[in-house]
Amino acid sequence: MTPTPSSSSPSGASATSSTPTRSSRRLVLQFVLPTLAALGAALVTAIPYVAVTVERHQIETLGERLLAEARLAAEALPWTSGAPLDAACTQLAADLGVRLTVIAADGRVLGESTRSSESLENHADRPEVRAALETGHGRAVRQSGTIGVRLLYAAWRETRGDAVRVVRTALPLTAVAENVAHLRRLLVIGLLAAMLLGLATSLVLSRRVLRRIQRLVGFARAVAGGAPAPYLAPERRDDLGVLEAQLAEMAREVTATIAALRVERERLEAILRGMVEGVLVTDLVGRVALMNERARELLGLPAGHDGAGRPLVEVARQPQVSEMLRELAGGETVVSRDLTLEGAERTTLQVNGARLCGPDGQPFGYVLVLHDVTELRRLEVVRRDFVANVSHELRTPLTAIKGYAETLLGPAGDDREARRRFLSVIDRHSERLGRLIDDLLTLSDLELGRIPLRLGTVAVGPAVEDVLQILSDTAKRVGVELGARVDPASPALEADADRFRQVLINLVDNAIKYTPGGGRVSVRAVAARGAEHHGMVEIAVEDTGVGIPAQDLPRLTERFFRVDKGRSRALGGTGLGLAIVKHIVQAHGGELGITSAVGCGTTVRVLWPAAVPARRAAEVTR
């Protein structure tokens, strides 16, 4: 098929578009009629809606004003009735510009601003009065039986002792009605003008767009007939211009699309190879169609084993995987499971499965995504244990403080001796709570690296002597002997002096707590032996205490872990000392080791980097 000149040249397209046809007229109507319908619907619906909304808003605003004026009038009017109250109502109503009525609790009119109150009927059945007597205020819009005008009423209940009266204000709604009518007229005029303007605009635009659409139709017919694509250039930089440019490139884009699909497949395979999650794709009967390298690693399959065509249960070796496929086949959109793989290391996988559906919505397979959540699950257990331990450790001193404080508030607080004893207990538990919070903050800062280390050269001997002097009174109270054996040839340390002393204090204090009276705690320091520890100083804290069971040694540096929980709390420990020691030592690049035997005491060894000159000397010696 050869394209005609009318479809292949701009001049031909223009000539074709200038000839009106039945289809072109129909297209123009499709542009114009929706515009007219929308404007007509807006005219029909917007005017009543806006009028009602404005009227409600004005009545609501006016009602709030009347209620406020009723409250003010209630405070200003005297507690009388008859002519004196009528006169007061008349004067105040003139000032406020409203009608004022004072009504007794039984409905009698006590005062009125427009006429004598004695001539008015009982107002007990008025809705605004009933509402005010029940809730304190009321409001109503109705025809006045007294003056025959539609009024807005607002009533306020006022009480003085046992006396109750209702002060009511009222205003005619004629001004509101006039405003609404004026607004309705403006809306009608505005919408009619908009309708005429929209009709004219839609006619002009529709004819312009129609000509360009007819040109596109001619181009599409030529391409659909297999002819070479005729000339087509965008007339304007608008949406139709974009469509014209895209249609002109349609023939070339088909070939480019096929090439792009091939590249996209290769890219998808590269993405699957680089994913940290394992991906498995199966058909509807559960045979493996695709599996990336990460899935093979997580499932422990040998390299190069793609599992194509094999049942998924054979590849995964987990019955729960087959259950997931059955649930997906039963209609579930997404299924999630945690799988535990037993092997050299226990691995936990989170498997999320979903159906693969085609454009027609029919499933053609299933995809499983495998996440290694072993570390996440372990951290969740650590977090739960930490929260439970912190809650328990905080609750214990708080409970004691609260109990003794409540006791002091009672009769026992009058006894001077009991008061002193209870305050001593409160002070002790407060101190323990403060130590716990300080240790928690210190440990948190150490773990997050928020505590800068002010490194310098620290001599071991003086630091050990300072710590033993600080803890000497504590050791004497429990009958424990302190000692130190620091090798004069041991090099100085490269350390934060305060943090190094904190390590020594925590270790020596722990040793004193768990060493019975008559025992001994000693601190030993010497240059570390062995090629793997050159340039290090070994500091050991030894005690002759109760010792620690072998199965508990790996957990000693965990937060809040205690071998003997009752004894630890009785001694005032927080369970965080060794955890803080571990993080300080690691922050300095050192190592921590603990050896112990039940009944034979405990030795805590710390390998600490020596100062730079000392490390250089050690290297020269080697």
| Helix extents (H) in 309-414 | 312-316, 319-329, 374-409
Domain finish residue from 422, 444, 466? 444
For the chain, what is the domain count? 4
Cα-based distances in Å from 28 to 192, 194, 234 = 21, 19, 22
312/434 same-domain check: no
pLDDT digits (tens, 9 = 90+) for 346-405: 788 888 888 888 888 888 888 888 888 878 877 777 677 666 666 656 676 777 777 778
What is the pLDDT averaged over residues 301-307? 73
> Residue 454: which residues within 8 A CB-CB, separation 6 or more?
496, 497, 498
Residue at 349 is within a domain: yes
Q: Residue 320 is part of which domain span?
A: 274-372
Residue at 90 is within a domain: yes
What span, in angstroms and rounded, lies between the C-alpha atoms of 321 and 374? 18
Bridging pattern class, strands 601-609 and 536-543 = antiparallel
418/336 same-domain check: no
430/497 same-domain check: no
Nearest alpha carbon to residue 69 among 159, 173, 139: 139
95/196 same-domain check: yes
> Residue 498: which residues within 8 A CB-CB, separation 6 or more?
454
pLDDT at 342 over 80: no
Residue at 267 is within a domain: no
- pLDDT at position 18, please? 43
3-state secondary structure of 356: strand
Residue at 359 is within a domain: yes
436/292 same-domain check: no
- pLDDT at position 327, please? 86
Q: How confident is the model at residue 259 (pLDDT cuts 50, 70, 90)?
A: low
Q: Which one-letter amino acid corresponds to residue 532? A: E
344/421 same-domain check: no
Burial (CB < 10 A; 0-12, 13-18, 19+), residue 352, is middle
- pLDDT at position 573, please? 56
- pLDDT at position 622, please? 41
Residue at 478 is within a domain: yes
Cα-based distances in Å from 353 to 269, 279, 309 = 20, 10, 19
DSSP string, 482-517: EEEEE-TTPPPEEEEHHHHHHHHHHHHHHHHHTS-T
Q: Note the residue count of the chain.
A: 622
Domain finish residue from 234, 266, 300? 234
147/187 same-domain check: yes
Report how far apart the first and last C-alpha atoms of the chain are (Å, whole number). 94
59/164 same-domain check: yes
38/179 same-domain check: yes
CATH of the domain at 2: 3.30.450.20
Name the token pair of 602.
């405990």
478/566 same-domain check: yes
Backbone angles phi, psi at 81, to 5 degrees: -155, 170
Residue at 239 is within a domain: no
> Residue 201: which residues within 8 A CB-CB, separation 6 or more?
none
Q: How confident is the model at residue 607 (pLDDT cuts 50, 70, 90)?
A: very high
Q: Give whichever of 79-93, 170-184, 384-398, 407-421 has the largest mean pLDDT.
A: 79-93
584/476 same-domain check: yes
64/161 same-domain check: yes
Residue at 264 is within a domain: no
Residue at 580 is within a domain: yes
Domain finish residue from 428, 444, 460? 444
> E strands along 147-261, which residues?
150-160, 163-172
